[in-house]
Amino acid sequence: MTELKVLIVDDSPFMRKVFSDVVDMDSAFQVLATACDGEEAVKMTIELMPDIITMDLEMPRMNGIEALQKIMETRPTPVIMLSAVTDNGTRDTIRALQFGAIDFIRKPDGAVKLDIRQVGEQLLEKLRIVAETIDKGPLRLLPAVVEKAAEKAPPSLASSAPLVSPVRQSVEEAKEAERMAAATAEPPLDKQSAGKAASAAMEQPVKEKPASALSETDKAPRLPRRETEVRRNEPPARPSASASRKLPPALDRPDSLRKPVKPPVAGSPAASAKKDAKPPVRQPGVAIAASPPAASAAVVPPISAEPKPTTSFTQIVAIGTSTGGPRALHEVLTGIPADFPAPILVVQHMPPKFTHSLAQRLDSFCSIHVREATDGEQLETATAYIAPGGKHMSLTKDAFGKYRVKLTNEGPRSGHMPSVDVLFESLIGHRQLKRYAVLMTGMGSDGAKGMKALLDDGAQTTIAEAEQTCVVYGMPRSAVELGATTHQVPLQSIAPLLVQELKSRKT
C-alpha cells in the first residue's frame, strides 16, 4: 500500500503535535503538513493535495464546517472531523457528515475525560478504514446535503426565531393564500377589510427555494485521477425549480409528503395563542417559505387531512449503516412519504449523544418523524427510531400485542453497540409482520448474518446498497456474499423500492 499523506488541521499547537505523533506511529501514513485554521487548510489542500485531512471543528478565522464545504467544492478529499462532546459540537459534527466528511472522532476534552492515547487509537482506526477503502478503488463521496436558508443566517437572527415545524409553516402558507384570494375577489372590500388584507399581505413569508435545487457552491468538481480520486454519485435528475408555480407551496406538495401534526387541545395555551398568532418564522434547519401572489378571484382547494401515525401496522422496516451512514440515511429517509404504513428502526454506528443530534437533524428535513429511540416506547407508523449510541435496540411485543422498543447495554457485539445484527435478529419470529431489512454503507460485516437469518425466517425483502454509491462497501458486500439479499440497488433507489414493496404487500 502506498504511503498516504495526511494534513492535520487544528488551532491548538499542542493538539497538532499530539495528532502528528499519532499519525507518524503508523508507517502507512505520513504527516504532510499542519494548518492552524480553516483558511490555511483550504489553501494547503489545493497546493499540497493531501490524501486525507483531519479537521477540528472550532477554529478562528474559518471554522471546520466552512473549510470542509470549501474543500468539497474545490478539491474533494476524505476528511475526518475532530468533535467536542458538547451540544454544539455534536450538532456541527452531524452537519459535517452530511456536508461530506467521511467520519469523526471525539476530541480530548476535560469534561468527558477522554484519554489522549484512546483518541489516538481511534484516529488511527479511522485512518486505516479510509486507507483500506482507497486501496480497493476510488473513494466515493455523495453530494453534500443542501443547507437551508435559516441555517445560514447569523446566529443572532436564528436564535431569535420561534420554532415552527415545516408542516405548520405550509399550512399557514395555504391559509395566507386563501386570505389573499378573498382580498382580490369581488365585491370590493370595505375600508376595514381592506386594512386587514393589506396587513396580511405585508406579513407573508419569503418564497422557499426547493431543496433539490443545488447552488453552485454545492457542486464540487472532480479530482484529477489519483490514488485517492473521489467519485461523486449524482442523484437522479429532478424537475427544474422553475416548474409549475400555480399552487401555493403547501398545496403544490403532495399530501403524502407532509409531516403529520397533532392539533392543539381545545382550551390549551397553544390553542389560545393560535388565534392571535402571526405568520411564523422558520426554525434553524428549515427554509423560509412564502406563497406566490394568488390569481384574481382564485379558488384555493381545501387542505386534505394530514395522515396520522398509528400503532396498528402489519409491516416493519429495519436499517443498518456505519461509515457514510448519516448522509445515506438523509437520502433514504427524506424519500419516505408522511403516510408510510410502517415504523422504521435504524442502527447507525455512533457514540452516545451524537445519535440524538443525528435524529434531530434528520427530523428537520424529513416528512416522517425521526427521533432517538427510548426504552419501552410504542412503535408508530411513519416514524423512524434511531438507536441511541451505547445501547442495543431490539423489537419486542408486549402482553397487549403492541410493538415496542427495547434498549439494552449487555456489551458490544463484534465491537459495536448499537449492533445491526442485534436489531435484525430481534425481528426473527415475528412472522405476523411483513419484514424489510436494509444494509447500507459501512466498514465490516455487522448486520450481514442477522440479515441472512431474517431472510431464512421469511422476511419479505432484504436490500443491500450497491457498491457504486457506498462510501465504504463493507457491510453490504458481506450480506451479498452470504446470499442474504433479495435486492442490490443504488442509494437513490432504496426509498422508492421500500415504498413500492410495502405498497404492493399492504393488506
Q: Return the active site residues.
A: 322, 349, 446
- How far does the chain reach from its first CA to its final CA, in angstroms? 54
Residue 429: how many other CB atoms lie within 10 Å: 12
State the Cα–Cα distance between residues 97 and 64, nearest whole angstrom: 12
Judge whether 381 and 407 are in contact, CB under 8 Å: no
Give the single-character DSSP code of 379: P
Beta-bridged to residue 53, according to DSSP, are 7, 79
Torsion on CA atoms 488, 489, 490, 491, rounded to nearest 10: -90
Best CA proximity match to 341, nearest among 321, 317, 373? 317
Evaluate whether 37 touches 60 at the Cβ level (below 8 Å). yes
Task: Quote the cell numbers at residue 306.
Answer: 394530514
CA distance 126 to 4: 13
Question: Half-sphere exposure of residue 338, counting CA atoms within 13 Å on the CB side?
Answer: 20
Closest by CA to 210, choosing from 233, 180, 178, 244, is 244
Find, among 13, 45, 14, the residue nearest to 32 by Cα: 45
- Omega before residue 418 within 30° of 0, cis: yes
| Amino acid letter, 43 | K
What is the full DSSP assignment across 67-132?
Answer: HHHHHHHHS---EEEEE-SSHHHHHHHHHHHHTT--EEEEPP-TTTT--HHHHHHHHHHHHHHHHH
- 3-state SS, one letter per residue, for 380-410: CCCEEEECCCCCEEEEEECCCCCEEEEEECC
Nearest to 368 by CA among 330, 333, 395, 321: 333
Radius of gyration of the chain (CA): 24
- Please check whether residue 257 is in contact with residue 306, taking contact to mean a CB–CB distance below 8 angstroms: no
Q: Are strands 392-397 and 403-408 parallel, antiparallel or unpaired?
A: antiparallel
Q: State the cell numbers at 18.
A: 499530539
Beta bridge partners of 465: 489
Tally Cβ neighbours within 10 Å of residue 18: 19
At position 485, the amino acid (one-letter code) is T
* Nearest by Cα to 128 from 29, 49, 53, 55: 29
